[in-house]
Structure 1
Amino acid sequence: MRMQIRVAEILRIFSLTLAFVLGCDSGEPASTLPIPVTVFNLSEIAPMSESRYAAILEPDSKVQVSSQAEGLVEAIAQREGPDGQARDLQGGDRVTQDSLLAVIESDSYEQRLGESQSDLARARALDAEQTANWERSKALFSQQVIPQSQYDTAKASYESARADASRAQHAVEESQIQLGHTRVTSPLSGVVLSRGVEVGDFAHQGTTLFQIGDIRKVKAVFGAPAPLAAHLEVGMPIHMTIESFRAEGFVGKVSQVAPQTDRRSGVFDVDVSLPNPGGRLKPGLVAEVEIPNDVMVRGGFEPISVPLQSIVRSPERPGEHVVFVVDIGENDRGIAVMRQVELGPPLGDHILVERGLESDSLVVVRGSTILTNGAAVRLIP
């Protein structure tokens, strides 16, 4: 206990002594000493020729393959794995239109089809019998051999038998369709994006079994702020780089600008389509789309990038960000001014600032986390 008290007392005396020494050395009270910071001078940076936005590659179109039958999943189509062994069809595998994807148990559907076929056979036999009776009745009635009432009865029986046979035929066709639904096939040629069931799972009507994507063309999807989205036109060429293919350049065309903002991000989704011969560009790859500077300027942006470490969470607006810039005075001293900024995508160890900074600002890089608006600062190398 005495040792703890002694350590605390020593620390208190050391702190007071240090504050006194610093105050005497600077000639200023310790509380008013300017905070040393390093800055990033935006005026010394070459203007950006374009701005880059992160995008994700998606199939040009995709469909969900849902179960139209109910029952246990008996089998899933097989593919040869890298070890030479058969495995279940999975994400990334290619499929062709009408190729088999999965099989759902069919016993109940086969039984239903057998029953409907038996009903159809009986209905057809009765229809043939009533048709023959109707033909005889017509001949006899025309010879005035039978009365009107007997003729009407024969006609009604014929029409009823004919209607029953038609309904039985429809029931057989419907049973055949339902049985066909137990063999799940691909509606298009493409690649499996996901599989939602395993062998032994029970599939209800509407259960999503697979998602298939058409990747003969792909699209890079990125989010654009409203002012920029307003200046992106369908058909506009867009250059991009794609991970795994960074040595190559790709050019796509804007195929769609969403009519409304995404509820979560508050930006407009923009689709940039590009051909994909051979299907080498896979869904999920990350791309960087390059928006020319003149388009950014027309959208009211001055593309500026700053070091990531200069970005600070806003103390006043949760979820938003600020940077500190220096209003410089004499002797490398100045005042820190807090600026609210709108951020774009990261660019390596920098990040794009879409709004909130002037192109000649002195942005605080080191020391920004301990600053407050209006704090005195001193520039250091």
Structure 2
Amino acid sequence: MRGRTSRRLNTSLALLVGGAMVGAVGCGNDSKPEQPRIAVTVFAVGRAQESNSNAYTASFQPYREVAVAFQVSGSVDSITQVPGADGRARDLQGGDAVKEHELLAAVKSGTYQAEVNQAASALAGAQAAYAKAKRDFDRDTQLLDQNVIAQATYDAAKQQYQSAQSEVAQSQAASKQAEINLGHCRIYSPMDGVVLERNIEVGSLAEPDTVAFQVADTSEMKAVFGVSDIQVGKLKEGEAQTLAAEAIPGVQLSGKITRIAPNADPTTRTFDVEVTVPNQDGRIRTGSVASLNIAGAAAPVIADARLPLDAIVRPPDDRNDFAVYVVQNQGGKTLARLRKVRLGEIVGNDISVLAGVQIGDRVIMRGATMVTDGAEVRIIP
């Protein structure tokens, strides 16, 4: 247990305790002169509140969410109008329902329409040149077979024919791209869903990849929460879970685990778990908070004490252990005394301490990496 806790906390505490190791090396001289008192702040150890290790808080997210972006640049010409609460038409906005393939907005298309017309004209010219070159080539092929024209004349006709073919292909590609760009002047909803956010206004400039709308499928919602490496192995996809949403008091929401992250978050060291909940009536909104109890999780526990993370240091004689400095009054002096501790779970910016300190101990918080065992300190607010 101790080894596993040490490994789990090693990364989180490495930066906090590195300074303590440097300080310990620099103070290894037996004949050091009297040092001035080091100013420190202290934290009085108190009993941690009772925690339930199988209770989790989750945040609801849409089952599917898409950023709808323009693919061409231009000034926003229009946004789809819908009836407002006062009966008057207004621009589509967050909270409005949309259908798949429904028009959302458009940019001014005059420039792109002109490009389509120009490309179509160029294609028509290329096709006319190709038709003439093909007639000439077919005629010269027959004349060459009859030994009426020279080989050089035939070769010139063939080259002209092949060039005309290439010109037609290029003009067709340009015309198709111009039509695609014209089509991109309009953006449509990719699904039946709800507009979460609108980021454009009529007259604003849109660039390629400018996200104009966030559209989400909220017919199902995902409750996402993080679990430790101890608990993640006890969960399986498809398991039923019951949740309670703060925004819907007194209602029990039923869902199933639909995803368990294969890797831990590098910052929190927890594994994301998703519980999918039906939401056909739209009562659950994005960002709503839910609570749930994981079936089969450990029973409630009470941690002995809780300390701020920056109070934890490495003992100078053991890089694989953890310690704190406790303030003690001896001979009229206030001294820092090193105490090795056994640590539990990290909770926010705090960590539970299972052994090594007692309720009421004054643990050095600010300045913990600057003191050594037996150093005289001065407590400041």
TM-score, length-scaled by structure 2: 0.67
- CA spacing shift, 1:80–1:240, aligned 2, 3 Å: same
Match of 1:247 among 240, 250, 255: 250
What is aligned with 1:65?
A: 68
Which blocks of at least 5 consecutive residues in structure 1 are unaligned? 1-37, 319-337, 346-352, 359-363, 375-381
Query: CA separation in 2, counterparts of 1:258 and 1:39?
Result: 33
The 3-state SS of whatever aligns with 2:275 is: strand
Letter in 1 for 2:115: R
The equivalent residue for 1:110 is: 113
Q: 1:317 to 1:75 in 2, by over 3 A?
A: farther
- In 2, distance between residues paired with 1:153 and 1:114? 32
Q: Distance in 2 between matches of 1:39 and 1:185?
A: 57
User: Are residue 372 (structure 1) and residue 352 (structure 2) matched?
Assistant: no
Question: CA 1:249 to 1:41, structure 2 compared with 1: closer, same or farther past 3 Å?
Answer: closer
Q: Which residue of 209, 214, 224 maps to 1:211?
A: 214
Q: Any idea what the Cα deviations from partners look like across 1:342-366, whole Å, max 9, x if unmatched?
A: 4779xxxxxxx996679xxxxx9xx
Shift of 1:118: 1.1
Distance 1:52 1:143, change over 3 A: same
Map 1:1-381 onto structure 2 (within 5 A): 51-292=54-295, 294=296, 296-297=297-298, 302-304=299-301, 316-317=311-312, 342=345, 371-372=360-361
2:5: which partner in 1? none
Please give the secondary structure, in 1, of the residue aligned with 2:141. Answer: helix
Distance between the aligned counterparts of 2:219 and 2:145, measured in 1? 70
Deviations 1:252-304 (A, max 9, x none): 11111222333443322211112222444322221112212x2x22xxxx424
- Greater relative contact order (Cα 8 A, min sep 6): structure 1 or 2? 2
Bigger-Rg structure (1/2): 1
In 1: Cα distance, 2:312 partner to 2:69 partner? 45
Q: 1:205 to 1:39 in 2, by over 3 A?
A: closer
Q: CA RMSD in A?
A: 3.3
CA apart distance, 1:119: 0.6
Q: Which runs of 4+ in 1 moved over 4 A?
A: 38-42, 310-315, 338-341, 353-358
CA distance in 2, matches of 1:41, 1:314: 17
Aligned AA (2:300) = P
Once residues 107 and 126 of structure 1 are traced to their aligned partners in structure 2, the CA distance between those partners, rounded to angstroms, is 29
1:144 Cα deviation after fit: 2.2
Partner of 2:149, secondary structure, is coil
**Alignment: residue pair count:** 288
- Partner Cα separation in structure 1 for residue 89 and residue 227 of structure 2: 44
Secondary structure of 1:90's aligned partner: coil
Q: So what's the TM-score if we normalise by structure 1?
A: 0.67
How far residue 196 of structure 1 moved from its aligned partner, in angstroms, is 2.0
Q: CA 1:148 to 1:257, structure 2 compared with 1: closer, same or farther past 3 Å?
A: same
In structure 2, what is the Cα distance between the partners aligned to 1:243 and 1:80? 31
- Percent sequence identity is 34
Classify 1:281/1:203 alpha carbon distance in 2 versus 1 (closer, same or farther; 3 Å).
Answer: same
* Separation in 1, partners of 2:214, 2:306: 40
Partner of 1:378: none
